[in-house]
A = this chain, B = another copy of it.
Amino acid sequence: MEMKILKEGTGEIFCKNTPTEMRNWTRVNKTRALVDKRMRIKDAVKKFIKDGDYLAIGGFGHIRIPMAIIYEIVRQRVKNLSVAGHTAVQDIDVLMAGGCVSSVDIAYVVGFELRGLSGVQRRLFESGQVKKTEYTNGAMSYRVRAGAQGIPFIPVKVMLGTDTMMHSPGKVVQCPFTGEKVLLLPALNPDVCIIHAHRADMYGNVQIDGHIVKDDLQARASKRVIVTCEELVSDEIIRSDPGKTVIPFYMVDAVIEQPWGSHPGNMPYKYYFDHEFTEDYLTAGRDKDLEAIDYWLEKWVYSLNDYDEYLTKLGAKRLYNLRDLEFLRAPVR
């Protein structure tokens, strides 16, 4: 008896980690002990993100995105990253503007939802400078779930019959139990996952308020997990509500307290989008003169030493206005 492969896509698999290799790697490289994992963002990026790594980003492209880490990756000029474009918006755009990315698993990229398309990404994808394989948001989540579960592939019921499938590495087979056609997709086990959360303790127990999007799965599927949080709390606070711990400590490699760490993104229950900042950024990226985006990067990334300087440059008033906006109230300051 057999399951015939009826059709298959030609998309390249950018992330080569297999579940078995992940296990073996985890055994040797991840501590299970409760140890203090606080460090500076600079050091976390230096230590855990290498040229050529496959990167997964938490949040939803411009919501709850780990921008402080993103800027630091650009600042350190990391090269040839592959990125999970599992709704990637401002996060991936800055990385691509900084020249850090060489290939992308695309579910949603290039777009800024209602704000239109990105000039930076259009340039890089349309010129073929950045390689790509097609998926869907659901498919990317399914792949990461398979990676988290430690199985090498997963059957899905999306992408079937489309060019999206033909530009993926998916394989169509018939279910040996029901006979129905399913698409098999390879598991995804990123090298690094970066996440911004509401709170964490120094051991790496991470809690997120509101929708989790895909961060639970990505942390479970990845080798390294770097977490910034709005608030670093004691483990007693974590232990008082352990059902809220979305990512347990043993998955996490570095924890950094970084308030406003998602700017200019929206951090639910904390601050809303800095719309003007993003529009200015998009304008620079769409400028035919490439110096415009380089100027932006110089101004907001390279010329600054760290995220503290970035926040200082933004100024307290601007930041607190975003808090007012989040809570739909008029600013008082």
- Which residues of A does B touch, CB under 8 Å? 1-5, 8, 13, 18-20, 142, 149-157, 169, 171, 173, 175-178, 180, 182, 184, 186, 208-212, 242-244
Contacts and interface: CB of A to CB of B under 8 A. Distances in A.
Nearest to A151: B155
Given A5-B3, A5-B176, A184-B176, A156 B152 contact: no
A27 to B, nearest CB: 15
Contact of A244 (B178, B208, B243): B243
B243 A151 contact: no
A74 B150 CA distance: 40
A239 to B, nearest CB: 12
Given A3-B3, A153-B155, A210 B243 contact: yes
Contact of A3 (B19, B151, B173, B242): B173
B152 A180 contact: yes
A175 B209 CA distance: 37
Given A186-B177, A209-B243, A210-B243, A154 B152 contact: no
Contact of A175 (B153, B157, B177): B153
Nearest to A183: B151
Contact of A152 (B13, B169, B177, B209): B177
A200 B178 CA distance: 36
A20 B180 contact: yes
Instruction: Tell me the number of copies of this protein.
Output: 2
Contacts of A152: 155, 175, 177-178, 180, 182
Contacts of A243: 208-212, 244
Nearest to A176: B171
A306 B154 CA distance: 45
Nearest to A5: B1
A30 to B, nearest CB: 19
Contact of A155 (B8, B154, B177, B208): B154
A153 B182 CA distance: 10
Contacts of A149: 142
A177 B1 CA distance: 19
A212 B149 CA distance: 18
Contacts of A208: 243
Nearest to A244: B243
21 contacts: A1-B4, A1-B8, A2-B4, A3-B4, A13-B177, A18-B178, A19-B178, A142-B149, A150-B157, A151-B157, A151-B182, A152-B178, A153-B155, A153-B175, A153-B176, A154-B154, A169-B177, A176-B184, A177-B186, A210-B243, A243-B244
